[in-house]
Structures are given as structure tokens and as C-alpha cells.
């Protein structure tokens, strides 16, 4: 419920100029652009939404601090302040649910700090407000005004609300409207996709198309090969198992000697242990005591489990009926035969693969050199662990999530620390990173407003595109090349960093590393809650999946989903993925779940 990061614009004017009328006109036009709106209005009087005699009125006047009225269509919350304090915008903003809102319109609160549009009607004879308020960025008037130049504000025509909407889209929401001269007017086609944004699939495809996998082959010893990508297929030099052996503890016997209709007592001719074979041949009519893994003695082909036998006297064992020829025996080459391809090129080696290679006696493998990834965080507000946290500062967490995610992929990582938002420092950091790594990843500084600044520096060093991607959280992303080095500029918000990394950067890095078969793992689960969503972007909700009593999977979100709330990520064991065209689902519906790799 924090709306610090949402676009916000105030409409200010002398009373009676038509603030409410304009806002009422803007709302359907903004909605037609896919924006979900919150409106905050300042009132100078006691708020009376309900009336004497209504139940809610009775609860309020009886002294409740909050009264909430909920119906199928609406929910109303009334907060009562028993002490009279000046209404503050901040307190009002805390009530905005930023998961459900894209833009906040504010009426009144003209002394608060927020970008504002002044409305003016010369016929009313009021003085202009903008010369005394530097936060007024535009002036909407119903008649052309002859203002002394230079004029700091953008002049708008109050009679053309669609142009005011265009101004809000460009200057407040940060959406380019150059190619959208025609504003859509039917709210039914509202969708959250911006005209200038790329779908997730488009962004992923463009990035993969720009990458050439690293093909430098190195020999790596087994342990160091974990997480590396095989450069050539591995062919088995052996049969596995190398010898036919017992799968159980018990007695090795020739099937011909198995009892048919009655119990049978046999002499024990010797014993075989794993690593200590019975070197001779088992005589007909006898058996050999055998332990799991011990080679089957010559003259035997079947193992009777210990539990199905009884020792009668020293050196004798009694066996019952019902045993099958060849039972409890593992045959030579049953798992792998000599000459068989056990692992193919392009495979990223897992712990099981290391075991498999070890089981073949293979000490080293040919892998591709792992990409070297340098990363740093940008932002004057960032402090490293150990530094004091001054007012307005935050500890840099992105370098730690990035470190963890990169390490999990088996990559070679270089942490370049925090870099201040200063051209010289940024330029030096980009250069150093590009010189020392195959890939540079930064977080922060690619959102609207900041991008121009970073863009100028990056333009001098390479070719970078700044994209808005139709995903939530995430959205801004810079991608390109600094010389030979790939560059990913991720958003700053901690959850957005993780989501954009996992969905966009990870497939790209694995492809660069030579992995040929990477596919995100997605399974269905039933949501236990209603999930609201607008078509137009792919959403990644942080969630927990768990088994229902019937064994199927259910999933629920980890609560507040703000893109700065790392707790939502830390608690989660999966994402719920709601595809671009999804328009929300009801409780009980099947949704796509992407478990985090453990």
C-alpha cells in the first residue's frame, strides 16, 4: 500500500474554476489509455459520505477509528481522526493500493510538493498561480493567454482534454505518444500495454539474436566443472555396472536349485562382499552368502533376499518357494554400456552429472569457458554494508541478489561495488567493467528521467537500446553492447532486479555460456485467491505453492507485491506468471507457476 513510486499529478486552481469537471473529463480518457486511476481530493470541511441513521454513521459516531463498508461492487473505508489535524497528501497516499493503480490524480493540496497542472479561466479574473509555484508544469486555459516570455510552463487548451491527457502521458507517466496521435476512447479496450513497449517474448528474442555463444573450450576437473557447459559429448569408457552383482543382501543361487513346491535347505558354500568377490564357482545344489553390490559368483544367477530365508544350522540356510529366475540381480552394462553417449554437448553439468562422470572414472571434461560477469549498482542513495546509513539512504541489496543468482548459474563474477550517479564515475565504471568482463550488469538508473543521463554516457561507449518491457515488476531495461561486451541495465527496485534478471538476463547468459536446452520450468497450480490483472503485460507475482490435501498443487501470493518489497521474494518459492493477455483470474483457477530452482 505504498504509492511512492506511482506517477502523480495535481490539478490546481482557484475554487470555482472547474477542477472537478476537468478531472471527471480526464478519467475516462486516461482509462482508455489503459491507466488505472486513483483520485485524491482535499476537503476543507468535515467529511460526510454517509448519512445520519445509516449503520456506518452509527458506528463512526459511536467512536470507531475505521469503518469499512464492503459490497460486491465497492469498498469504502472511513478513517476517523478524533483530533483535528491538517490533511496531508502523504497520509492520503498511504491509502492508495499501488498494485491496482497506475496514476494518481490529486485535486487540491495546492501547497504540497507534486507536479501540478494549473487551470485558468481569464473571465473569472483570478491571478495566475504558476509564477508563485515552481511545481506547476503546465497551464490549461480556456482562452489563449499572452504570457510574457520566456514561459516556464507548457500551455494547454482546457477545451481539449485529450491533449491534456497526452501531456500527462508524456510528462507524468513517461510514455511516448508520438505515434499515437489518435487517442482511443472506448474504455472496454483498456489494456496496460504501452504503445512503445516490447513484450517479454520480443525482448528475449531480440537479446538472444544479438548473442554469440562463447566457444572457447577448456579442460576442467570434475568438481570445478559443476554448473559449466559441456563442450563435447561424453562417451562411456565402461559398462556400468562393470560386473553383474547382487541388488540385495541374501543368498546367491542357481535358479535351477530354487525350491519348487516345498521349503529347501541348502549348504552355504562361501560368501561374497562388495569389493570382495567369491573367486570360485558355486557348486550345484549350494548357495553363496552375498551382500549388495558383490559380484555374482560363477554358477549363480539369482539372489534370494535375506528376509526370505532362515538359517537352520551353522552353514545351512532354508529357502521358501515363490522365487523367480534372475531376481535381485543387477547386470553388467544394465545402466550404461561401453561406447554409449552419456551426456551431450551443450549440457550444463548438475550434481548428478558429476556423479555419473565419476562413476565412469572420468576425472576431467571439456567445457566452455564460463562467461565473466561484472556488475555494479548505481545510485547516490546507496550505501554498502558497514557504512553508516544517513537519512534518505538505503543499503545496496541488488549486488547481493545478483551475486547469488549469478553464482547459482556457475558464472565467473566480478563485483564492482556501488557507483555514484556522476558522469565521470559512471563512465569509468562502465569502461572498467567492459574491459574486464564478457557481460556488464548494472541496476538502477534506467528509469524514465534517469535514462537520458546514463544514455549519454553509454552512447559514447557503445550501442545501447533503452526499452520498456511489458512486464510487472520490471519495465525499464537497457540492453546493448559496449564494444565486445554485452550490457544489461536493470531497473533499481530490488524485486524488479530479480524478476528481470531471472526472466530476461538468465536465459541470455545461459545461451552465451553455450547451454542449448535451457527452458524455464513451469507447472500448473490452482490459485486460492482472486488475482486481478489487466491485459497488456506479463505479471510475475511472488507466491508460495504447496500441496492441497488431494495432492494437487495450490498457490497463493506472499502478500504486498510492491517492486521494492524483497520480503515478498524471500518468502516465495515460485512466481505465478499471468501472461500478457490474461485479464485476471478467479479463486480456484489454474495458473502457471514457475518454481524457483533450489
Contact residues for ligand AMP (CB under 6 A)? 377, 379, 381-382, 394, 396-398, 443-445, 447, 450, 491-494, 564
Q: Figure out which of the listed residues 10, 161, 250, 379 binds Mg ion, where binding follows CB under 5 A.
A: 379
For the record, the C-alpha cell of 464 comes out as 545501447
Angle, CA of 273, 277 and 279, to the nearest 5°: 145
Indicate the DSSP class of residue 223: G
Q: Which is nearer to Mg ion, 163 or 420 (CB)?
A: 420
18 lines the binding site for Mg ion (CB under 5 A): no
Q: Which does 396 bind (CB under 5 to 8 A by kind): ligand AMP, Mg ion, none?
A: ligand AMP
Contact residue for Mg ion among 10, 34, 444, 564 (CB under 5 A): 444
- Of Mg ion, ligand AMP, none, which one sits near residue 557, judging by CB under 5 to 8 A according to partner kind? none
Find which of ligand AMP, Mg ion, none residue 99 binds, CB within 5 to 8 Å per kind. none
Binding-site size for Mg ion (CB under 5 A) equals 3
CB of 81 to Mg ion, least distance (A): 35
No. of H helices and E strands in the chain? Answer: 12, 34
Pick between residue 493 and residue 568 the one whose CB is nearest to ligand AMP.
493
3-state secondary structure 309-331: EEECCCCEEEECCCCCCCCCEEC
Q: Which stretch binds Mg ion (CB under 5 A): 106-114, 156-164, 373-381, 589-597?
A: 373-381
State the minimum distance, in angstroms, from the CB of residue 158 to ligand AMP: 33
Query: Residues 6 or more apart from 316 whose CB is under 8 A from it?
Result: 265, 266, 267, 268
Q: How far is the CB of 402 from ligand AMP (least distance, A)?
A: 9
Strands (E), 178-301: 217-221, 234-235, 245-246, 250-253, 264-272, 287-290
Q: Which is nearer to ligand AMP, 5 or 281 (CB)?
A: 5
Q: Could you identify the residue written with the cell 476512447? A: 185
Smaller CB distance to ligand AMP: residue 220 or 398?
Answer: 398
Smallest distance, Å, CB 146 to ligand AMP? Answer: 39
Residues 409 and 510 sit within 8 Å (Cβ to Cβ): yes
Smaller CB separation from ligand AMP, 394 or 428? 394
Decide if 457 contacts 505 (C-beta within 8 A).
no
At CA 254, angle to CA 253 and CA 257, rounded to 5?
95
Measured from the Cβ of residue 209, the count of other Cβ atoms closer than 10 Å reads 7
Q: Smallest gap, in angstroms, from Cβ of residue 576 to ligand AMP?
A: 23
What's the N-to-C CA distance of the chain in angstroms? 30
The nearest distance, CB 446 to Mg ion, in angstroms, is 9
Of 180 and 397, which has the nearer Cβ to ligand AMP? 397
In the bound complex, what is the minimum distance in angstroms from residue 392's beta carbon to ligand AMP?
9
Restricting to residues 26-85, which ones interact with Mg ion according to CB under 5 A? Answer: none
Residue list 488-507, contact with Mg ion (CB under 5 A): 492
473 binds, among ligand AMP, Mg ion, none (CB under 5 to 8 A by kind): none
* CB atoms near residue 173 (< 10 Å): 19
Cα separation, 221 vs 483, whole angstroms:
32
Q: Which residue has the cell 561495488?
A: 417
Are the C-beta atoms of residues 78 and 67 closer than 8 Å to each other? yes
Specify the residue, 7 or 444, whose C-beta has the smaller distance to Mg ion.
444
CB of 32 to ligand AMP, least distance (A): 28
Binding site partner of 398, from Mg ion, ligand AMP, none, Cβ cut-off 5-8 A by kind: ligand AMP
CB nearer ligand AMP, residue 194 or residue 396: 396
Phi and psi at residue 463, in whole multiples of 5°? -120, 110
Q: What is the DSSP string of 498-540?
A: HHHIIIIIHHHHHHHTT-S------EEEEESS-B---TTSEEE
Nearer to Mg ion, 492 or 562 (CB): 492
| Residue whose Cβ sits closest to ligand AMP | 492
Q: Least distance from C-beta 111 to ligand AMP, angstroms?
A: 25
When the beta carbons of 18 and 444 are compared against Mg ion, the nearer one is 444
Distance CA 85, CA 255 (A): 94
CB of 450: closest distance to Mg ion in angstroms? 6
Q: How far is CA 542 from the centre of its chain?
A: 8
Binding site for Mg ion (CB under 5 A): 379, 444, 492
Amino acid at each position: 500500500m505504498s504509492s511512492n513510486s506511482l506517477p502523480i499529478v495535481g490539478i490546481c486552481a482557484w475554487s470555482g474554476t472547474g477542477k472537478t469537471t476537468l478531472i471527471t473529463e480526464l478519467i475516462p480518457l486516461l482509462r482508455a489509455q489503459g491507466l488505472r486511476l486513483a483520485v485524491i481530493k482535499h476537503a476543507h470541511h468535515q467529511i460526510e459520505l454517509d448519512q445520519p441513521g445509516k449503520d456506518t454513521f452509527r458506528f463512526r459516531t459511536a467512536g470507531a477509528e475505521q469503518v469499512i463498508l464492503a459490497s460486491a461492487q465497492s469498498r469504502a473505508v472511513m478513517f476517523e481522526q478524533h483530533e483535528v489535524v491538517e490533511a496531508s497528501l502523504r497520509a492520503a497516499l498511504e491509502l492508495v493500493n499501488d498494485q491496482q493503480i497506475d496514476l494518481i490524480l490529486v485535486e487540491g493540496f495546492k501547497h504540497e510538493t507534486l507536479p501540478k497542472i494549473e487551470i485558468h479561466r481569464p473571465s473569472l479574473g483570478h491571478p495566475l498561480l504558476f509564477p508563485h509555484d515552481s511545481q506547476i508544469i503546465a497551464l490549461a486555459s480556456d482562452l489563449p493567454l499572452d504570457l510574457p516570455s520566456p514561459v516556464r510552463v507548457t500551455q494547454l487548451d482546457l477545451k481539449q482534454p485529450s491533449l491534456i491527457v497526452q501531456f500527462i502521458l508524456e510528462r507524468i507517466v513517461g510514455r511516448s505518444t508520438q505515434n499515437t496521435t489518435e487517442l482511443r476512447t472506448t474504455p472496454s479496450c483498456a489494456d496496460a500495454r504501452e504503445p512503445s513497449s516490447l513484450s517479454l517474448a520480443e525482448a528475449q528474442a531480440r537479446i538472444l539474436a544479438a548473442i554469440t555463444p562463447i566457444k572457447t573450450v577448456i579442460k576442467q576437473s570434475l568438481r570445478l566443472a559443476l554448473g559449466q557447459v559441456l563442450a563435447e559429448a561424453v562417451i562411456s569408457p565402461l559398462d556400468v555396472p562393470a560386473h553383474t552383482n547382487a541388488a540385495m543382501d541374501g543368498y546367491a543361487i542357481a535358479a535351477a536349485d530354487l525350491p519348487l513346491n516345498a521349503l529347501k535347505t541348502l549348504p552355504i558354500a562361501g560368501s561374497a562382499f562388495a569389493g570382495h568377490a567369491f573367486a570360485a564357482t558355486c557348486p550345484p545344489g549350494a548357495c553363496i552368502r552375498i551382500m549388495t553390490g558383490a559380484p555374482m559368483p560363477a554358477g549363480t544367477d539369482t539372489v534370494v533376499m535375506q528376509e526370505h530365508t532362515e538359517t537352520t544350522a551353522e552353514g545351512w540356510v532354508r529357502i521358501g518357494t515363490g522365487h523367480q529366475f534372475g531376481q535381485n540381480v543387477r547386470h553388467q552394462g544394465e545402466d550404461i554400456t561401453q561406447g554409449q553417449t552419456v551426456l551431450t554437448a551443450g549440457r550444463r553439468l548438475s550434481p548428478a552429472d558429476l556423479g555419473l562422470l565419476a562413476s565412469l572414472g572420468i576425472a576431467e571434461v571439456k567445457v566452455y569457458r564460463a562467461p565473466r560477469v561484472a556488475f555494479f549498482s548505481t545510485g547516490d542513495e546507496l550505501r554498502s554494508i558497514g557504512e553508516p546509513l544517513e537519512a534518505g539512504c538505503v543499503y545496496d541489496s541488488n549486488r547481493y541478489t545478483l551475486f547469488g543468482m549469478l553464482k547459482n548459474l556457475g558464472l565467473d563474477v566480478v563485483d564492482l561495488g556501488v557507483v555514484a550517479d556522476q558522469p565521470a564515475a559512471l563512465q569509468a565504471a562502465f569502461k572498467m567493467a567492459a574491459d574486464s568482463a564478457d557481460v556488464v550488469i548494472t541496476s538502477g538508473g534506467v528509469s524514465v528521467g534517469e535514462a537520458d543521463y546514463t544514455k549519454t554516457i553509454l552512447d559514447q561507449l557503445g550501442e545501447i537500446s533503452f526499452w520498456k518491457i511489458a512486464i510487472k515488476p520490471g519495465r525499464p531495461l537497457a540492453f546493448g553492447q559496449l564494444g565486445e561486451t554485452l550490457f544489461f541495465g536493470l531497473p533499481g527496485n530490488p524485486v524488479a532486479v530479480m524478476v528481470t534478471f531471472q526472466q530476461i538476463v538468465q536465459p541470455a547468459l545461459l545461451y552465451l555460456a553455450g547451454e542449448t536446452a535451457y527452458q524455464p520450468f513451469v507447472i500448473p497450480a490452482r490459485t486460492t485467491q482472486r488475482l486481478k490483472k489487466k491485459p497488456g503485460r506479463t505479471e510475475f507475482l511472488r507466491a508460495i505453492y504447496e500441496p492441497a490435501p488431494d495432492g494437487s498443487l495450490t498457490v497463493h501470493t506472499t502478500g504486498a507485491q510492491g517492486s521494492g518489497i524483497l520480503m515478498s521474494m524471500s518468502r516465495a518459492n515460485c512466481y505465478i506468471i499471468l501472461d500478457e493477455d490474461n485479464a485476471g483470474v478467479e479463486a480456484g483457477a489454474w495458473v502457471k507457476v514457475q518454481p524457483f530452482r533450489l
